[in-house]
């Protein structure tokens, strides 16, 4: 069995995810094929998709123009597995705020019942890295946060890790998101978790 994983390739940190998911497949003894998705027809035949970090607004603009977003939206509505990191997490959130006082809007794919605050930890200067205790993992995981959003309300989703008082890794059904960047470390355990969730 070959697992076909798409990587939303509109913008942002794509290559590192490609390496991480291939390595995760190798560790699990699974054959994995990764392809970049920028056009709606490239979604055909995929088993799951990774939505990388970057700038969520830029991704929405480009994806809307190409017709990719509406197609992916209808797939996600039917339980298509997705893993979002950082900006990718914003895209999957039901409630998004730009600042604490700004009104709530919806992400591009509002299937995860969480509220997220963009750039919640501050600006680029407030980017940080910290050891995270993740549910089900025996060893800590290095969480790299880059202009990360804050999950201000986890809603009905399951919280797998928190730091500084906020959830940073949540999942619900076939969707999982981290506000940090696991692809920027050598540790492939989170990518493995995503692959396992697809074949379960």
| Per annotation, catalytic residue among 44, 100, 142, 181 | 181
Q: Closer to ligand GLN at the Cβ: 48 or 120?
A: 120
User: Does 179 help bind ligand GLN (rule: CB under 6 A)?
Assistant: no
Q: Report how far apart the first and last C-alpha atoms of the chain are (Å, whole number).
A: 13
Active site annotation includes 181:
yes
User: Does 146 help bind ligand GLN (rule: CB under 6 A)?
Assistant: yes
Number of residues engaging ligand GLN in binding (CB under 6 A): 11
Q: Closer to ligand GLN at the Cβ: 38 or 119?
A: 119
Active site annotation includes 15:
no
User: Does 119 help bind ligand GLN (rule: CB under 6 A)?
Assistant: yes
Instruction: List binders of ligand GLN among 32-71 (CB under 6 A).
Output: 53-56
| Strand partners for 112 | 93
User: Does 191 help bind ligand GLN (rule: CB under 6 A)?
Assistant: no
Active site annotation includes 200:
no
Q: Closer to ligand GLN at the Cβ: 47 or 55?
A: 55
User: Does 91 help bind ligand GLN (rule: CB under 6 A)?
Assistant: no
DSSP string, the chain: -EEEEEEE-SSSS-HHHHHHHHHHHHHHT-EEEEEEE-SGGGGTT-SEEEE-SS-HHHHHHHHHHHTHHHHHHHHHTTT--EEEETHHHHHTEEEEESSTTSPPB--SS--EEEEEETTTT-SGGG-EEEEE--TT-SS-EEEEESS--EEEE-TTSEEEEEETTEEEEEEETTEEEESS-GGGSS--HHHHHHHHHHH-
User: Does 86 help bind ligand GLN (rule: CB under 6 A)?
Assistant: yes
Q: Find the binder of ligand GLN among 17, 71, 97, 147 (CB under 6 A).
A: 147
List the structure tokens of 21.
């998911």
Catalytic residue numbers, as ranges: 86, 181, 183
**Binding site residues, ligand GLN, CB under 6 A:** 53-56, 86-87, 90, 118-119, 146-147
């Amino acid at each position: 069995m070959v697992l076909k994983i798409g990587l939303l390739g509109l913008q942002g940190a794509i290559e590192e995810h490609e390496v991480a998911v291939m390595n995760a497949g190798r560790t699990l003894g699974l054959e994995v094929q990764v392809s970049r998705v920028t056009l709606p027809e490239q979604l055909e035949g995929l088993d799951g998709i990774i939505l990388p970090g970057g700038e969520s607004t830029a991704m929405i603009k480009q994806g809307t123009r190409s017709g990719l977003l509406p197609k992916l939206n209808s797939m996600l509505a039917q339980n298509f597995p997705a893993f979002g990191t950082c900006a990718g997490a914003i895209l999957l959130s039901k409630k998004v705020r730009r600042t604490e006082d700004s009104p709530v809007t919806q992400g591009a794919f509002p299937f995860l019942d969480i509220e997220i605050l963009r750039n919640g930890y501050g600006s680029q200067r407030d980017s940080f890295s910290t050891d995270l205790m993740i549910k089900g993992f025996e060893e800590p995981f290095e969480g790299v946060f880059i202009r990360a959003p804050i999950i201000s309300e986890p809603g009905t989703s399951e919280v797998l890790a928190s730091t500084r008082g906020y959830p940073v890794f949540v999942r619900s059904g076939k969707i999982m998101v981290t506000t940090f960047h696991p692809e920027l470390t050598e540790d492939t355990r989170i990518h493995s978790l995503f692959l396992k969730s697809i074949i379960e």
